[in-house]
Amino acid sequence: MPKGRLYIVSTPIGNLEDITLRALETLKKVDYIACEDTEHSLKLLNYYGIKKPLISYWSEKEKVRAEDIIHKIKAGHNVALITDAGTPGISDPGAVVISRALEEEIEIIPVPGPTALITALSISGLNTEEFIFVGFLPVKQSQRRKKLLELSSEKRTLVFYEAPHRIIQTLDDMLEVFGNRRACVARELTKMFEEILRGSLEEILDKLEESKIAGEYVIVVEGQQEKERSFEEALKEVKELMKKGKGRKEAVKIVSELYNLSKKELYEKSLKTDNE
Ligand code: SAM
């Protein structure tokens, strides 16, 4: 059994003071700190006067550097692994080192702390009881829409990460695929230009276009609601009745009464789906 340990340490997602006492103690006592970008991590380490040998790793180098980290731990050294922000392994590197450490029966100790997804979800005002973390959506629009379509009947709250240059396009795609659901867009959490937008996707898009698009974003979207589902089912029934020879108006009247839905809304939706 190797003598050294691997500590997985969460660091701030912006505000340098969002770090636990245990995380600081851990960073002070280990022999090495493995980080993504040394320059970035030095800002945090210098702020707390922590001087340690750094092992730099990033996605492409993770495999090679993992061996170096494992080698050091097997030689009896303690290593703390951090990323540029938040919790390692959450849309961040870390998985390769962890799975290699497990293969070598190295003890892995979590030192928890901030993560952007939980920070955003907790203040979103949306249902936090059950949620799904999707992380980054595909960059290609066709693939992104495909993924959104797969998620469209999900009832649990959905949490996404997004880059500033894609935020408008992604919200547009969500509006198109999910409909005008409630959402929360959290920008630059814990930082100087923190901004939290809540409302329908349409309202958020309006507000976003007015403000400056920059920084880091988390998008939280309400899951599919009962009402949306019944509209979907009702639309299918309208189609069926129309196939059997009823006019749209008559079909909508029958189904809206059956499902207790707004006749006007069902009529408009039925027209819209026919034109798609
Ligand atoms: N490991 C990190 C965590 O635990 O949240 C996530 C790293 S991932 C490479 C970076 C993405 O996380 C950003 O593009 C953004 O979507 C989100 N993010 C990180 N910090 C944020 C912040 N302060 N405010 C809003 N979103 C943030």
Region 175-181 average pLDDT: 92
For 55-96, the pLDDT digits (tens) are 998 767 788 889 999 999 999 999 999 999 999 999 998 999
pLDDT (0 to 100) of residue 134: 98
Question: In this structure, which topology does domain 117-221 adopt according to CATH?
Answer: 3.30.950
Query: By three-state DSSP, how is residue 216 classified?
Result: coil
Tokens of 199: 């409302």
Contact 205, 232 (CB under 8 A): no
C-alpha–C-alpha distance, residues 69 and 231, integer Å:
55
Atom 13 of ligand 1, nearest CA residue = 216
Q: For residue 162, give the ligand 1 atom closest to its CA.
A: 16
For ligand 1, the distance from its centroid to the CA atom of residue 115, given in whole angstroms, is 7
Looking at residue 198, what DSSP letter applies?
E
Strand partners, 55: 34
CATH number of 5-114: 3.40.1010.10
For ligand 1, the distance from its centroid to the CA atom of residue 51, given in whole angstroms, is 26
pLDDT (0 to 100) of residue 276: 66
- C-alpha torsion angle, residues 254, 259, 260, 266 (rounded to 10): -70
β-pairing, 195-200 vs 182-187, is: antiparallel
Which residues form ligand 1's pocket by a CB distance below 6 Å?
A: 13-14, 83, 85-87, 90-92, 115-117, 161-163, 186, 188-191, 216-218
Out of 18, 59, 91, give the residue to mutate to test ligand 1, the one with the largest number of ligand atoms within 8 Å of its CB: 91
User: Which residues are CB-contacts of 226 (< 8 A; sequence separation ≥ 6)?
Assistant: none
For ligand 1, the distance from its centroid to the CA atom of residue 240, given in whole angstroms, is 46
For ligand 1, the distance from its centroid to the CA atom of residue 162, given in whole angstroms, is 8
pLDDT (0 to 100) of residue 129: 97
Tokens of 82: 């951090």
C-alpha–C-alpha distance, residues 62 and 67, integer Å:
9
pLDDT (0 to 100) of residue 2: 59
Region 149-161 average pLDDT: 96
Which helix (H) or strand (E) element contains residue 246?
A: none
Whether 105 shows a pLDDT value over 80: the answer reads yes
pLDDT (0 to 100) of residue 144: 96
Q: Is the dihedral of CA 135, 139, 141, 143 positive or negative?
A: negative
Q: For residue 10, give the ligand 1 atom closest to its CA.
A: 4
pLDDT category of residue 102 using cuts at 50, 70 and 90: very high
Strand partners, 233: none
Mind giving me the DSSP string for 122-155?
Answer: HHS-S--SSEEEEEEPPSSHHHHHHHHHHHTT--
Out of 216, 219, 220, give the residue to mutate to test ligand 1, the one with the largest number of ligand atoms within 8 Å of its CB: 216
Tokens of 272: 């819209």
Region 165-170 average pLDDT: 95
For ligand 1, the distance from its centroid to the CA atom of residue 69, given in whole angstroms, is 25
Region 170-188 average pLDDT: 95
Q: What distance, in Å, lies between the first and last C-alpha atoms of the chain? A: 62
Strand partners, 9: 111
Tokens of 111: 């030192």
C-alpha–C-alpha distance, residues 154 and 261, integer Å:
21
pLDDT category of residue 184 using cuts at 50, 70 and 90: very high
pLDDT (0 to 100) of residue 211: 60
pLDDT (0 to 100) of residue 274: 77
For 201-248, the pLDDT digits (tens) are 999 999 986 667 789 999 999 999 877 777 888 898 999 999 999 999
pLDDT category of residue 1 using cuts at 50, 70 and 90: low
For ligand 1, the distance from its centroid to the CA atom of residue 56, given in whole angstroms, is 20
pTM of the model: 0.86
For ligand 1, the distance from its centroid to the CA atom of residue 120, given in whole angstroms, is 10
C-alpha–C-alpha distance, residues 50 and 58, integer Å:
21
C-alpha–C-alpha distance, residues 117 and 160, integer Å:
8
